[in-house]
A and B are shown apart, each in its own frame.
Chain A
Amino acid sequence: MTSRLKAFARFWYDFVVGDDWRVAVAVVAALALTYAVSTTAAPAWPILPAVVAILLPLSLWRVARRQSSNSATSQK
Chain B
Amino acid sequence: MNSSALFITVFLACAVEAVEALTIVLAAGVGRDWRSAFIGVGCSLAVLALIVAALGPALTAIPLGALRVVVGGLLLIFGLQWLRKSILRASGLKAVHDEAATYRTQLAAAEAAPVERRGLVTDWYSFTLSFKGVLLEGLEVAFIALTFGANQRNIPLASLAAVCAVVVVALAGLAVRAPLSRVPENAMKFIVGVMLTSFGMFWGAEGAGARWPWADATLLVLVPVVTLFALALVAVLRRAGGGVRTGETIADGLGAS
Binding site for B on A (CB under 8 A): 15-20, 23-24, 27-28, 30-32, 34-35, 37-39, 43-45, 47-49, 52-53, 55-57, 59-60, 63-64, 67
Q: Residue B140 at the A interface, CB < 8 A?
A: yes
Taking the closest CB of chain B, its distance from the CB of A42, in whole angstroms, is 10
23 A-B pairs (CB sep. < 8 Å):
A15-B139, A16-B74, A27-B73, A27-B80, A31-B73, A31-B204, A31-B207, A34-B204, A35-B69, A38-B210, A43-B213, A44-B208, A45-B218, A48-B204, A52-B76, A52-B197, A56-B83, A56-B229, A60-B93, A63-B88, A63-B93, A64-B240, A64-B242
Binding site for A on B (CB under 8 A): 69, 72-74, 76-78, 80-81, 83-84, 87-88, 93-94, 139-140, 197, 201, 204-205, 207-213, 218, 222, 225-226, 229-230, 233, 237, 240, 242
- Contact assessment for A23 and B209 in the assembled complex, using a CB-CB cutoff below 8 Å: no
- Contact assessment for B77 and A27 in the assembled complex, using a CB-CB cutoff below 8 Å: yes
Taking the closest CB of chain B, its distance from the CB of A41, in whole angstroms, is 12
- Contact assessment for B208 and A31 in the assembled complex, using a CB-CB cutoff below 8 Å: yes
Complex contacts, B72 vs chain A, CB 8 Å: 31
Partner of B84, one of A38, A39, A49, A56: A56
Complex contacts, A23 vs chain B, CB 8 Å: 77, 80-81, 84
- Contact assessment for A28 and B74 in the assembled complex, using a CB-CB cutoff below 8 Å: no
Complex contacts, A52 vs chain B, CB 8 Å: 76, 80, 197, 201, 226
- Contact assessment for A56 and B233 in the assembled complex, using a CB-CB cutoff below 8 Å: yes
- Contact assessment for A45 and B81 in the assembled complex, using a CB-CB cutoff below 8 Å: no
- Contact assessment for B83 and A43 in the assembled complex, using a CB-CB cutoff below 8 Å: no
